[in-house]
Amino acid sequence: MKPDAIQRRALKTWYPPGHELHLDPLHPVLAIAGEAGEIADQWKKHQYKPGVEYTREQFLDELGDLLYYLSIRAYQLDVTLDELSQMNRRKLAGGVHGWPEADSGAYDD
Ligand SMILES: [Mg+2]
């Protein structure tokens, strides 16, 4: 599997190949949980903390952090983000979650 463009950029700041932590799942898995928590905390503050208001760009910045770690974990599992997206699309189209209309093409290009 050749890493996709997002993964190649993320890997430039990841542990280099050969490093003992390059394929260790713990760091990205914990980081995914941490970034998800940051997203929740950001929204909590935005909604409930007086005087705190985040911008769309700040919300997107946190989503980008999550994407970074997702791309690393997907790489470790030998799949590109595009392949992962296709897998998820097939899962949704299969009606696994009771959404058989997911492959209706409503949001296709
Ligand atoms: Mg973050």
Give 35-54 pLDDT, tens digit per residue: 999 999 999 999 999 999 99
Give a yes or no: residue 93 inside a domain. no
pLDDT in tens, 59-107: 999 999 999 999 999 999 999 999 999 998 888 887 766 666 555 566 6
Instruction: Give the CA-trace dihedral at 16, 83, 56, 108, to 10 degrees.
Output: 160
Per-residue model confidence (pLDDT) at position 102: 54
C-beta neighbour count of 86 within 10 angstroms: 12
Domains held by the chain: number: 1
Q: Which two tokens stand for residue 92?
A: 């949704």
43: CATH: 1.10.287
Whether the Cβ atoms of residue 14 and residue 72 lie closer than 8 Å to each other: yes
Residue span of the structural domain in which 12 resides? 5-78
Give a yes or no: residue 71 inside a domain. yes
Q: How far is the CA of 59 from the centre of ligand 1 (A)?
A: 10
Give a yes or no: residue 27 inside a domain. yes
Give a yes or no: residue 104 inside a domain. no
* Distance separating alpha carbons of residues 109 and 89, to the nearest angstrom: 15
Q: How far is the CA of 77 from the centre of ligand 1 (A)?
A: 22
Burial class (CB in 10 A: 0-12, 13-18, 19+), 71: buried
Give a yes or no: residue 31 inside a domain. yes
pTM of the full predicted structure?
0.86
Q: How far is the CA of 79 from the centre of ligand 1 (A)?
A: 23
Q: How far is the CA of 65 from the centre of ligand 1 (A)?
A: 5
Q: How far is the CA of 27 from the centre of ligand 1 (A)?
A: 14
